[in-house]
């Protein structure tokens, strides 16, 4: 027969141990790592766009300034070429004092006429383009034509002047008169026309090397 006093003891010994509540760490927890801030692409886009637009406008401004400088130089070239042509064509004083008796002076006259027509056509074209804001030729083709034309005419002008200067010097050693003075004046105008077209060729060469397709 079992002892009644042993039952509580058995129940007490057989009961599961009381559950221990989990310990909670009440210390300060480290904050989660902050994510790297992402740049606001939408806010940067207008700034980049305005920068690109201003760069294009500045480029167009430089190109317009170069066009006006070339126009001015060709205008000077037109005036000097026309003066060289008129002075030489009117230099007729009879006997040996006629320019057409000498091959060198006929060459100067021919190149002066050619330069007058070329610079006149270029000035007319550029004035038309500036006034109407329209180009007669595509930009690349126009730059090539300008560069080649200026180079050729500048070479022809300096060639004609160089061939005539020795002849004028020999004539002036014998006699210095209105005929030789007119020859010297015509050659001087040809040299000024050469300088104008040489500077124009330098600018058109720069434009050709930095040609923009925008």
pLDDT of res. 96 = 84
In a domain, 40, yes or no: no
Q: pLDDT, tens digit, for every residue of 4-47?
A: 445 444 444 455 555 555 554 544 555 555 545 554 444 545 55
- Whether the predicted pLDDT of 172 surpasses 70: yes
In a domain, 42, yes or no: no
Q: Say if residue 13 is exposed, middle or buried (CB neighbours under 10 Å; 0-12, 13-18, 19+).
A: exposed
Distance CA 152, CA 170 (A): 29
- 8 A C-beta contact, residue 75 and residue 120: no
Distance CA 101, CA 98 (A): 6
For residue 57 the two structure tokens come to 């406008």
Q: What percent of the chain has pLDDT over 90?
A: 41
pLDDT of res. 47 = 54
Could you tell me which residues come within 8 angstroms of residue 99 by beta carbon, excluding any fewer than 6 positions away? 88, 89, 91, 92, 105, 106, 109, 183
pLDDT of res. 9 = 46
Mean pLDDT of 136-155: 88
In a domain, 190, yes or no: yes
Check which CATH number belongs to the domain holding 111 and give it: 1.20.140
- Whether the predicted pLDDT of 201 surpasses 80: yes
Query: How many domains would you assign to the chain?
Result: 1
In a domain, 66, yes or no: no
pTM of the model: 0.69
Confidence of residue 60 (pLDDT cuts 50, 70, 90): low
147-182 b/e (C-beta count within 10 Å ≥ 16 → b): bebbbebbebbbebbebbbebbeebeeeeeeebbeb
Radius of gyration of the chain (CA): 45
- Whether the predicted pLDDT of 192 surpasses 60: yes
Confidence of residue 122 (pLDDT cuts 50, 70, 90): very high
Distances (CA, A) of 69 to 126, 196, 212: 11, 11, 18
pLDDT of res. 46 = 58
In a domain, 65, yes or no: no
> Any idea what DSSP says for residue 128?
H
In a domain, 96, yes or no: yes
Q: pLDDT, tens digit, for every residue of 101-121?
A: 899 999 999 999 999 999 999
In a domain, 22, yes or no: no
In a domain, 82, yes or no: yes
Mean pLDDT of 63-88: 90
Domain of 186, in residue numbers? 77-209
Confidence of residue 151 (pLDDT cuts 50, 70, 90): very high
- Whether the predicted pLDDT of 75 surpasses 60: yes
Distance CA 100, CA 92 (A): 8
pLDDT averaged over every residue in the chain? 78
Could you tell me which residues come within 8 angstroms of residue 110 by beta carbon, excluding any fewer than 6 positions away? 160
For residue 156 the two structure tokens come to 């022809």
More confident residue, 87 or 96: 87
Of 106, 117, 206, give the one whose Cα is nearest residue 153.
Answer: 117
Residues in the chain: 214
């Amino acid at each position: 027969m079992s002892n009644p006093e042993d039952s509580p003891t058995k129940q007490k010994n057989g009961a599961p141990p009381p559950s221990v509540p989990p310990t909670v760490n009440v210390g300060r927890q480290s904050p989660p790592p902050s994510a790297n801030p992402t740049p606001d692409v939408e806010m940067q886009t207008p700034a980049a766009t305005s920068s690109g637009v201003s760069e294009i406008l500045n480029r167009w401004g430089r190109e317009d300034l170069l066009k006006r400088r070339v126009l001015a130089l060709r205008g000077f070239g037109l005036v000097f070429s026309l003066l060289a042509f008129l002075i030489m064509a009117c230099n007729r004083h009879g006997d040996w004092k006629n320019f057409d008796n000498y091959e060198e002076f006929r060459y100067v006259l021919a190149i002066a006429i050619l330069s007058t027509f070329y610079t006149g056509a270029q000035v007319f074209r550029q004035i038309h383009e500036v006034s109407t804001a329209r180009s007669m030729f595509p930009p690349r083709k126009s730059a090539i034509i300008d560069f080649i034309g200026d180079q050729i005419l500048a070479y022809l002008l300096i060639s004609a002047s160089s061939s005539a200067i020795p002849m004028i010097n020999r004539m002036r050693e014998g006699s210095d008169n209105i005929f030789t003075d007119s020859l010297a004046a015509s050659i001087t105008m040809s040299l000024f026309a050469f300088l104008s077209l040489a500077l124009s060729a330098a600018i058109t060469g720069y434009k050709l090397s930095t040609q923009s397709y925008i």
